[in-house]
Copies of this chain bind each other. A is one copy, B any other.
């Protein structure tokens, strides 16, 4: 049986050009709208992900200037008995379990050497290909602390009022936070941790800092432990959208991205913390 477009679809046969035009025009409009949606979505990651802190695309960069020698040395740390291992692990747990995030600080000074030793401890963290992709800025000048506070409060006001959304603000209510950050000018020290999104060698050439985010975060974990071991209190704060302004204030180069802002000092005499419990071991560990 012969098929004739005209006999089955006389309208299409007469008007195929305008019909095809309309269909193609609709496709173009659809694809343009889709592209716009994709761009909007890409510009809005999880709201607590500061875009200035997100992982940059990998550069086709030269190698890190890691020591290229394959020289190896024996590693023979002190061997502990089984009981001593358990005793030390449990003691360290009990010590760390006494740590709380503090938002009410005393103005009492603390020794800078203790904070420096804690930063040294942070610097012992492992890092991808041993690139050590971190800088810790120690702020002790009252003027710089005031400038940091100004930037953070500016942005936090917008965060709380516009960016975060009612749900998030409600979730934070039990913790008692808002946009005001008096503690930033009350503490003896601020420590700002920056990760290196890429490295720069002595000749000014860029190199790749593998796993720089998690490496710097691990270093910050060691820093929290070290400050606590030294009897110092801090607050693990992630100032949303403040990264670029704080980086410029502190004259850090382009490749450094703010990760954490830690006020460091002693708790105020009347310091209180929310009456939180931590999950028991069986809620955070599974055994296979």
Contacts and interface: CB of A to CB of B under 8 A. Distances in A.
Interface of A: 17-18, 20-21, 24-25, 27-28, 31-32, 34-35, 38, 41, 45-49, 55-58, 62-64, 66-80, 82-86, 88-90, 92-93, 96-102, 110-111, 113-126, 128-130, 132, 134-141, 144, 167-168, 170-176, 208, 210-211, 213-214, 217-222, 224-227, 229-233, 236, 238, 250-252, 259-260, 266-267, 270-279, 281, 284-288
A134 B46 CA distance: 18
A118 B138 contact: no
Interface of A, helix, strand, loop or mixed by DSSP: mixed
Nearest to A123: B284
B90 A117 contact: yes
A141 B38 contact: no
Contact of A210 (B38, B117, B171): B171
**Copy number in this complex?**
2
Contacts of A122: 284
16 contacts: A17-B17, A17-B18, A35-B35, A46-B58, A48-B128, A75-B272, A77-B267, A85-B111, A96-B124, A101-B126, A119-B284, A126-B224, A214-B220, A220-B221, A221-B222, A251-B288
Contacts of A173: 68, 70
Contact of A67 (B17, B98, B174, B230): B174
Contact of A175 (B34, B130, B170, B232): B130
A159 to B, nearest CB: 12
